[in-house]
Amino acid sequence: MRSAKINRQTAETEISVEVNLDGIGQYDNQTGVGFFDHMLDQLARHSLIDMTIRAKGDYHIDDHHTVEDTGIALGQALTQALGDKKGIRRYGECHLPMDDAQVRCALDLSGRPFLIWNVDLPTPKIGTFDTELVREFFQALSTHGGITLHIDQLHGFNSHHIAEAAFKAVARALRLAVETDPRKADAIPSTKGAL
């Protein structure tokens, strides 16, 4: 079973993340940031990665550290669960429409972090949530998950829809990338022999 558990504690946040890459998309995510929980639930549901996340942060400042550090811990959990990446498809992509919004994700579990973020969230807030934190989350996930992560918005004017489409697009792409390729299940998908 490809799974991992990460506990990460700093002066700013306390995070625990459990993932099972071979799951069914079960989730139980409680970060104290309502909209962010809604997005993490989408990430689990549509990647079919089982995900249990608990976070406590310095909310009296804002939600920044909590969201960013959850991205770090989730990235670390994915890295650990993927191990030597033997047999995975490695690449994934998705065009995800949601009402007015359409977001494309193309990703490579390359071990080489790189984020392309071509997304314009037109309002500074979604409810009480700072929209700029969506990018912060994906930056942390890319860096600590070793993911070449390209996210491009093709359409959209509603911030909630655009953000949700981004999370779902990444989820769907991640599902493809972490799944085992039955034609090459015993090999690391790189001509270098390592990822």
Binders of Mn ion: how many residues, by CB under 5 A?
1
Q: How far is the CB of 45 from Mn ion (least distance, A)?
A: 12
Instruction: Please identify, among the stretches 61-69, 134-142, 160-168, 186-194, the one whose residues bind Mn ion according to the rule CB under 5 A.
Output: 160-168
Which of 50, 164 has the CB closer to Mn ion? 164
Which of 15, 163 has the CB closer to Mn ion? 163
* Minimal CB distance residue for Mn ion: 164
Q: How far is the CB of 136 from Mn ion (least distance, A)?
A: 19
Contact 21, 48 (CB under 8 A): no
Q: How far is the CB of 39 from Mn ion (least distance, A)?
A: 8
Q: Is 116 exposed, middle or buried (0-12, 13-18, 19+ CB in 10 A)?
A: middle
Residues 62-81 close enough to bind Mn ion by CB under 5 A: none
Q: How far is the CB of 8 from Mn ion (least distance, A)?
A: 27
Q: CA-to-CA distance for 147 and 112, rounded, in angstroms?
A: 6
Which of 127, 193 has the CB closer to Mn ion? 127
Q: Which residues of 41-62 are buried (b: 16+ CB within 10 A; e: fewer)?
A: bbbbbbbbbbbbbbbebeeeee
Q: CA-to-CA distance for 166 and 188, rounded, in angstroms?
A: 28
Which of 36, 146 has the CB closer to Mn ion? 36
Q: CA-to-CA distance for 111 and 195, rounded, in angstroms?
A: 6
Q: How far is the CB of 25 from Mn ion (least distance, A)?
A: 16
Q: How far is the CB of 160 from Mn ion (least distance, A)?
A: 6
Instruction: Please identify, among the stretches 93-101, 109-117, 138-146, 162-170, the one whose residues bind Mn ion according to the rule CB under 5 A.
Output: 162-170
Residues 163-182 close enough to bind Mn ion by CB under 5 A: 164
**Which distant-in-sequence residues (6+ apart) come within 8 Å of 192 by Cβ?**
none
Which of 20, 159 has the CB closer to Mn ion? 159
Q: Which residues bind Mn ion (CB under 5 A)?
A: 164
